[in-house]
Structure 1
Amino acid sequence: MEFSLLGPIAVTTGSAELSLGPAKRRSVLALLLLQPNTTVPLEQLIDSLWEDEPPEHARTVVQGHVSRLRATLAEGGAEAYGIELATHGSAYLLRLPEELIDAHRFGELVALARPEAAPADAVPLLREALGLWRGPALTGTVTSPPFAAAAHALEERRLTAVEALGRAHGALGEHEQAAAVLYSAAVNHPLREGLIAGLMRALFHTGRQSDALEWFHRTRRLLNEELGVDPGERLRGAYEDILRAEAAGGARPAGGARGKDGTSGGTSSGGGRTGASGDGRSATGSGARPVDGAKRAPVQGSAETDEARGDAGAPGTDGTRQETAAGGRGGSGSGRSGAPPRLLPRPPARFLGREDQLAALTTVLTDGTTGESPLAVVAGPAGVGKTACAVQWAHLYAGSFPDGQLFADLRGFGEGDEAPPAEILGDFLLALGTPPERVPSSAQAASALFRSLVAERRLLVVLDNARSSAQVRPLLPGGPHCATVVTSRSRLDGLVATDWARPVGIQTLGHEEGAALLGAMLGPDRVAEDPAAARELVDLCDGLPLALRAAAAQLTARPRWRLARLAAALRDERRRLALLSAEDTGIAAALRMSVARLSADDARLLSALATSADGHLNASLAAALAGYDPERTQDGLDRLTEMHLVDEEATDVYTISTLTQLFARDERGEGGESDTGGTGDGS
């Protein structure tokens, strides 16, 4: 159920609008909504409904309207939404979650927007706020002075938001958009000097100096003729700045935000990180405090080995409450009133080793010297243990992020479609305490709200199984005390280029680490009785933790088998992929998801490379095998390397693993595998 004040007075449930009746009944509802969860005296209702002397039966009329409103709300299912229209003596109280009122949501979105400090985030927030307006406020109420005053106060807040949106566009160098936003408002409010000043600056930045100056002279005449006053400081300041800039040869006026035209001012680089550093990242130089928090837990001797599954508002002039930037009264939008979110999966079982990778993550993610939000990308082939490494580190250092830890599977390499950013952002906002009704519908607005809510928090975000940089950028927090770790089979070079992500590569296990993993899964005695077979199993599994875990599952189910017996079975290349599967997880299923993301050309190239005798080749041999020209082959090899389906060991020296060869030899990826389905934890 939603209540509308920003336009015609309305109550909607789903797609249906409740019938509210005549103007006075709508006016009673509007006055109660302007003062939600507050007792409104009957006398105040009477004074607001009748401009002149009220009739003798006024009390009875108001009581009748309240009774009909109560019945209408009940028919619409008000109780399910926590809504109650109660009588308290000679007063009435409309009790409801205030986020159901569009004026309340408007105030919260505007309060969160910071047009100068974070213009890229402010634009979608302010657009979302202004999009709540469906016409003049309080349309359909009586025309008495109290309602006129309340409507005027709401309109003032709308115009303030329009001015802020113009400033945000200007700070981004989007002066045409700023002029378009401000123009219609300026036409309808020709005496609002701040609005005119903003429009003048926007017009000047677009090269329309004469139009900018004409707006000044027109407004000056109107002020003199209608009010008998001269222009105020803001309007005069804009005019004088333009004149000085013209005298200086067309330079942009001081005080006007500049951006994409190559002058100073914040720019944005996709993720909403603003500043003057030229790469879209914050350049405040404020020196954010390092992520320290709890004492760091020691890195345990582990080999990772598989991918883990593993009332602050003051009354406004219109009777509504002004909201705080933290998300409204009582912190209902900020999530600070509840426990911090703890969304990490459980720690990976039998995690071993990976000391170098864990240390690298610590170096990247706890660096508080840059004043920026650190970002690490853990990349590697399918089944190598990227998720488990990231989740293990996140658990070890959870105490360094007391405001919570967020986790999301982006499904970049899964059976279905990848997770859209709007879906993940919705989950994050709910976890941070945002009521469902206040989660923006657009991904851009949700991203801006997310960054605004966490700007001052010490939060860890783990984004697992990402397909592309574009999928990740809307999910990045902007606060200098937040840290993000992304896992992907792709290198995500785009994040390195635009967001200064630090890559943390993760490789297959050597003989000792692989044997240690088998020992952790099967018991050290079982491995110690046949160390040569253990080494062979590591080789047959290409050192992939996921494959080794599947092999350990086979041996666990067959306690009488020696390791040598499984090794002998795995030597049969026709059976190997099937044996390295365990119910809903397996190396074949993981590889299938990688190959499914390839273009047809790259998939054919991979199949051609799989025919190589020993898995070692150069670009010339690859071109001969695929029948491609050299340029097409090199581009394909680069993409396969980025996806970790092929390794470039040295310049023009490429290798393809045995398991990838076995999978790719069948064009559809079915040779020798069982019907495992799903990727399990082998992303």
Structure 2
Amino acid sequence: MEFSLLGPIAVATGSEELALGPAKRRSVLALLLLQPNTTVPLEQLIDSLWEDEPPEHSRTVVQGHVSRLRATLAEGGADAYGIELTTHGSAYLLRLPEELIDAHRFGELVALARPEAAPADAVPLLREALGLWRGPALTGTVTSPPFAAAAHALEERRLTAVEALARAHGALGEHEQAAAILYSAAVSHPLREGLIAALMRALYRTGRQSDALEWFHRTRRLLNEELGVDPGERLSGAYEEILRAEAADGHRAAAGSGARGHGRAGADPDATAGRVPAQGGTGPAGKHGAKATTGEGGARETSGRAAAPRLLPRPPARFLGRDDQLAALTDALTDRTTGESPLAVVAGPAGVGKTACAVQWGHLRAADFPDGQLFADLRGFGEGDEAPPAEILRDFLLALGTPPERVPGSAQAASALFRSLVADRRLLVVLDNARSSAQVRPLLPGGPHCATVVTSRSRLDGLVATDCARPVGLQVLGHEEGAALLGAMLGPERVAEDPAAARELVALCDGLPLALRAAAAQLTARPRWRLARLAAALRDERRRLSLLSAEDTGIAAALRMSVARLSADDARLLSALATSADGHLNASVAAALAGYDPERTQDGLDRLAEMHLVDEEATDVYTISTLTQLFARDERGEAEPGSGDDRSG
């Protein structure tokens, strides 16, 4: 007989599980297992089972659950295992060998592991320990503070074991395995700074410095938005270590270039030092902006610049299609006939995949930019403040090898230094999530061999007017493309089982890749569900937005960030448009719905269209997507609880 706390509460005998009954009964068992061979007072059980004031008959309820548990354990042959549930006055005692509890075995295995002293032995021990987990601890118990605290404590022990396993792999030089282990935990715990710092170091040691730095900036943004604090010492220390190491590598590569001139053809200086080359690099020619020449024997020589920054996020997973847009970016960003630094703006609605398209193009064309790729999230449509140009420029200058003490304090001076440093380099700059043209202009390089991609939910007409930016619009996916994305996420066989349901899912998701990925996440977590079951759930408009969310991402969150940037008048206009029966309307209908005069309505519609919250399909023909309508209606219901539009469910 085995007892499980590290996941759903369960009792297994052989290959079968005992039927434990409702959540409160499972919770009684969980509390007894958390304190095995110890008397647990009845009052403690009552306090744990009811978050609010317990009912008058609570003692009788608990006694009934204990009685049923005793009978269930007896039916499972508890006596043969030395298991006994007894009553001691007004307390209960679950007597059993503690090794039958998965949490106890987990603790023993972790205690035996010594990641630094004996990493080769620690790896199998820690893997066995972590293999005991079958999901979030204490799943199936009531949602009261005592159980939440106990589950949190167990989760902390799990994360400690994850970090120990990563250290053991690192001690063995297996940095890829360490990064993979830490990545999953970091996604689930994005504010755990020690975990993120360990992941950053592991990524850097595999040569993925751009991914490492991206994790720092992502975590810094989350800390600011969620907690209103700056990164702590561990996270900042990891970031500074990586920047210093990059600069040092660049200087070492430059100092040793002459000695290597007659060496092995194509030898990588980092490889000779035992370090894995950076992802996306092409040997020394791909190191931080160094002008590369070929010496005798094919070895490369550099002019002494720091190693080429590779700050692009990793290529988007399961990226499909967008061939026309990728070709348009190539046409716009490789045009050297004008003698100017080419600039493209990838614009489209929230969740349409703008960042993925820009990053994918950057990786496909990395060879065109041997002096590096810079990337920054401008936070134009985030919950916090947008990124000030001085902050982004400081990160760019540090990545290009500028010592911290030489980075100018003013944005104007930093912008001038940035343009000077990159004037003769072949460099790609990706400015993601821009709010306005004014936010972008200080960050634009001036060299004719540099290229810049900006992504935004706004069209950024100002950049088109003053900087000759080439607009590249992204639209939602059609039925075939959307079904192909579902197939890439779930496996083609699962989609082929019910192609009609796949088409319906694409329609219910408005063809937005972000929504389709969230839907795929729901189905991945529920492997027994057919596509038709999720489609049926999504037909309920009250649940659709919540179902199209996956942890820290989702359509509702994305739309909320867009709407937060609207003026009060435009937000009210959008709310009024959401009441349209079919989402199709003209300026006159919009004016009637909003109660605005025609001129005010037309100006508002133009601004909403610029933000891709409505589409202007033809002259005076506007559409608003179903998901945008649902979000705006929900927001309207929250803002006007007395309006009679009850969508609280």
**TM-score, normalised by the number of residues in structure 2:** 0.52
User: 2:515 pairs with 522, 538, 547, which one?
Assistant: 547
CA contact (8 A) 1:335 1:432 kept: no
Matches within 5 A, 1:44-63: none
Provide structure 2 residue ranges, at least 5 long, that are not aligned to the other structure: 1-290, 292-301, 639-645
Aligned residue number for residue 526 of structure 1: 494
Shift of 1:402: 0.6
Distance 2:587 2:420 in 1: 48
Match of 2:407 among 436, 439, 442: 439
Cα 1:459/1:533, change in 2 over 3 Å = same
Give CA-to-partner distance per residue, 1:207-249, whole Å, 9 cap, x none: xxxxxxxxxxxxxxxxxxxxxxxxxxxxxxxxxxxxxxxxxxx
In the alignment, which of 493, 498, 502 is matched to residue 470 of structure 2? 502
Partner of 2:572 in structure 1? 604
Residue 337 of structure 1: how far off its partner (Å)? 2.3
Of residues 406, 416, 423, the one that matches 2:374 is 406
Structure 2 SS opposite 1:666: helix
CA distance in 2, matches of 1:428, 1:663: 37
- Call closer, same or farther: CA 1:618–1:341 in 2, change over 3 Å: same
* CA distance in structure 2 between the partners assigned to 1:403 and 1:662 by the alignment: 46
Of the candidates 590, 598, 601, which is equivalent to residue 630 of structure 1? 598
TM-aligned CA deviation for residue 613 of structure 1: 0.2
Letter in 1 for 2:380: G
Matched, 1:561 2:529: yes
**Kept in 2: contact 1:578–1:672 (CA 8 A):** no
**Where does the alignment leave 5 or more consecutive residues of structure 1 unmatched?**
1-325, 327-333, 675-683
Alpha carbons of structure 1 residues 359 and 423: separation in structure 2 relative to 1, 3 Å: same
Q: Is the 8 A contact 1:379 1:505 kept in 2?
A: yes
Identify the residue that residue 426 of structure 1 maps to in structure 2. Answer: 394
Query: Which of 440, 443, 455 does residue 487 from structure 1 map onto?
Result: 455
- Alignment correspondent of 1:467: 435
- Give me the whole-angstrom Cα distance separating, in 2, the residues matched to 1:513 and 1:438: 49
In 2, the alpha carbon distance for the partners of 1:388 and 1:673 equals 33
Deviation of residue 369 (structure 1)?
1.1
Deviations 1:241-266 (A, max 9, x none): xxxxxxxxxxxxxxxxxxxxxxxxxx
Q: CA deviation at 1:666?
A: 2.6
- The higher radius of gyration belongs to 1
What do the CA deviations read for 1:540-575 (whole angstroms, capped 9, x no partner)? 000000000000000000000000000000000000
1:352 aligns with 2:311: no
Aligned partners of 1:364 and 1:376 also within 8 Å: yes
Residue identity over aligned pairs, in percent, reads 91
Amino acid at match of 1:356: D
Q: SS at the partner of 1:667?
A: helix
| SS of residue paired to 1:466 | coil
- Tell me, yes or no, if the aligned pair for 2:397 and 2:418 is still in contact at 8 Å: yes
Tell me which amino acid in the other structure corresponds to 2:593.
L
Could you tell me which residue of structure 2 aligns to residue 32 of structure 1?
none
Counterpart in the other structure of 2:239:
none
Inter-CA distance 672–462: structure 2 relative to 1 (3 Å threshold):
farther
How many residue pairs were aligned? 342
1:298-377 to 2 correspondence within 5 Å?
A: 337-377=305-345
- Following the alignment from structure 1 to structure 2, what is the Cα–Cα distance between the partners of residues 570 and 672? 15
Distance apart, 1:667 and its partner CA? 3.1
Partner of 2:236: none
In structure 1, what is the equivalent of residue 189 of structure 2?
none
Q: Deviations over 1:57-91 (max 9, x none)?
A: xxxxxxxxxxxxxxxxxxxxxxxxxxxxxxxxxxx
Q: AA paired with 1:584?
A: D
**For residue 388 of structure 1, what is the aligned residue in structure 2?**
356
1:76-155 equivalence runs, <5 A:
none
Which has more helix, going by share of residues? 2
Task: Kindly indicate whether the alpha-carbon contact (under 8 Å) linking 2:575 and 2:636 is maintained by their aligned counterparts in 1.
Answer: no
Give 2:547's aligned residue.
579
Q: Per the alignment, do residues 431 and 336 of structure 1 end up closer, same or farther by CA in structure 2, a change over 3 Å counting?
A: farther
Separation in 1, partners of 2:339, 2:647: 52
Is 1:594 the counterpart of 2:562? The answer is: yes
Return the alpha-carbon distance in structure 1 between the equivalents of residues 517 and 435 of structure 2. 24
> What amino acid maps onto 1:507 in structure 2?
Q
AA aligned to 1:480 is P
The answer to whether the Cα contact below 8 Å between 1:576 and 1:672 also exists between their aligned partners in 2 is no
Query: Aligned partners of 1:558 and 1:673: how far apart in 2?
Result: 26
Residues 669 and 340 of structure 1: CA distance in aligned 2, closer, same or farther (over 3 Å)? farther
Q: Secondary structure at the match of 1:378?
A: strand
* Matched letter for residue 501 of structure 2: A
Distance 1:637 1:441, change over 3 A: same
1:157 corresponds in structure 2 to none
SS of alignment partner, residue 604 of structure 1 = helix
SS in 1 for 2:635: coil
**Which structure 2 residues correspond to residues 230-245 of structure 1 after superposition, within 5 A?**
none
Distance 1:423 1:362 in 2: 29
Counterpart pick for 2:506 among 519, 532, 538: 538
Whole-Å separation in 2 of the counterparts to 1:503 and 1:669: 36
Higher RCO, 1 vs 2 (CA within 8 Å, ≥6 residues apart): 1
Q: Which residue of 2 aligns with 1:660?
A: 628
* 3-state DSSP of counterpart to 1:654: strand
- Aligned residue for 1:511? 479
Provide, for residues 110-130 of structure 1, a one-character-per-residue CA deviation record: whole Å limited to 9, x for no partner.
xxxxxxxxxxxxxxxxxxxxx
CA distance in 2 between counterparts of 1:546 and 1:488 reads 15
